[in-house]
Structure 1
């Protein structure tokens, strides 16, 4: 079985020794899938840190097989998929918690949102999905919350007291203060996608546009939009693009612009911090988002 070299490198970098062990076990896990579910796994998609491939079942129906390293993130995804059942999310058909296996409904043709090629239309499609996706958070859940995101940023500041990569210590502390204030003043908790962006939105002849690959998160609806805001930005006019997205989302979803912009600032700081590598590289779009959300908030509310 041939596995993409970039995928193997990503797994080793992200999961260290556990990743190497899992890569060695992956061929036998895939063989187990083919035997248990009577399927033939096809050539994988372009991979990041999970093995994802289409498969053909015995009855010729097509599905998607996703194999992950078992752990908390995988369990969160399973819980989110279950909770989002009958929403704008592809269906979880079966799973194996111990082996990290998901058998998912395949969306056909499965084009990503970026293939629409029209910024305004893409944003309206995304807004329509969220209208039919977000639901009130369950009373009991093991899913992560935005309060845990706040805690994560606090831990980063403790580890990097003078700043991290391009992020100044002042920006880190400002983002933490906003996180704390936003979590204290949040009025409603919602079940969020947790990683909502252009490449996690696919076309379906049967359902229309659908979302995939939820991380599962509990918090305010405004928070779930920030990852979309920071993705697929043009090299020029990023400020105008984010501003237009903010205005469309707040109008279509009846959201609070001030809270959307404040969540945008603190999540941009956190996302940039997550992206800083050992060699000093980082996500420039995420970093640019910090100043854009700050400037937009100042423009509208100060």
Structure 2
């Protein structure tokens, strides 16, 4: 019997309201039906946040991951679409998708240790792993690509925040305005590729089929530099003071060199995505995290 932990209940209700409540209530039945129809043996869940994710084994003994979430259009549909486009190149393979039940069956990365585990003492190695994943993931969107446009989607996030909060609480207005402007500028003069959309050290796992594989894509079409942004505030190597910022210069240089991207562009995207992370937090009714805001404030003087 599935009993959703408090963190999953809290996040599902906060993100999806009544739809989240219905999904939680139906979760045991949905999981049982999907397991039956896909002939899965379902094991223990992983650490849960917004979706129910558990170990699974297929009828032929293949190790897999079962992921369940609400069925309204959005994250899981985009994740499935992105993984389908990636086709196992740099990311786990999508083995099955049931849109009506909000179910994904995914390749399991083994041994599955996180790039995060290399931080901070082997940070260069961790960043190199993510750089290689980015190189493999990014490709031109197919003609029938249904993924959302990055500039349009997250431009709306910035605009909604500015409409909702006319002053400097909860975030300094000038930072949000600058990030919104940079998002538009950077998106207008760059190439368009299929993006992971949430690529950082917690979403890159050690694997056997490829040395490292990405999981949990958000899925966008946009400028390649966007996928470097979250790497500058994730994971937190120390506290939220100066220690957190000590790895920034080396990461920025390594990302720029490894991806053939101007350092200034990596810094600009780092600023945009750091501010955007705090905007997302306030959308959910929370207070700013502080970590991404510290990175954005640190990068601000470097922007041209």
TM-score by length of 1: 0.92
Q: Output one character per residue of 1:97-149: Cα deviation in whole Å (capped at 9) or x when no partner.
A: 11110011111111111223411110111111112111123344221222121
- Secondary structure class of the residue paired with 1:127: helix
Residue ranges of structure 2 left out of the alignment (5+ in a row): none
- Structure-1 separation of matches of 2:288 and 2:160: 19
Within the alignment, does 1:216 sit opposite 2:222 as a pair? no
- Secondary structure class of the residue paired with 2:56: strand
Greater shift in the superposed pair: 240-249 or 2-11 = 2-11
Q: Map 1:30-45 to 2 at 5 A.
A: 30-45=31-46
1:278 CA drift (Å):
7.2
- Structure-2 separation of matches of 1:72 and 1:277: 16
Aligned match of 2:155 = 150
Q: Map 1:65-76 to 2 at 5 A.
A: 65-70=66-71, 71-76=73-78
1:173 to 167, 170, 177: 177
- Structure-2 separation of matches of 1:278 and 1:66: 22
Alignment RMSD, CA only?
1.7
Contact 1:143 1:216 in 2 (8 A): yes
Greater shift in the superposed pair: 280-289 or 136-145 = 136-145
Q: Output one character per residue of 1:206-249: Cα deviation in whole Å (capped at 9) or x when no partner.
A: 32111111111111111111112111132243333122111001
- Structure-1 separation of matches of 2:286 and 2:203: 28
Q: CA 1:193–1:292 in 2, change beyond 3 Å: closer, same or farther?
A: same
- Structure-1 separation of matches of 2:29 and 2:270: 42
- Secondary structure class of the residue paired with 2:101: coil
Q: CA 1:277–1:84 in 2, change beyond 3 Å: closer, same or farther?
A: closer
- Secondary structure class of the residue paired with 1:250: helix
Q: Map 1:107-122 to 2 at 5 A.
A: 107-117=109-119, 118-122=122-126
- Structure-2 separation of matches of 1:139 and 1:264: 29
Q: Map 1:197-216 to 2 at 5 A.
A: 197-216=200-219
TM-score by length of 2: 0.92
Q: CA 1:261–1:100 in 2, change beyond 3 Å: closer, same or farther?
A: same
1:32 CA drift (Å):
0.6
2:263 to 257, 264, 270: 257
Q: CA 1:271–1:93 in 2, change beyond 3 Å: closer, same or farther?
A: same
Which runs of structure 1 show a deviation greater than 3 angstroms over 4 or more consecutive aligned residues? 277-280
Aligned match of 2:100 = 98
Aligned match of 2:134 = 130
Aligned residue pairs total 296
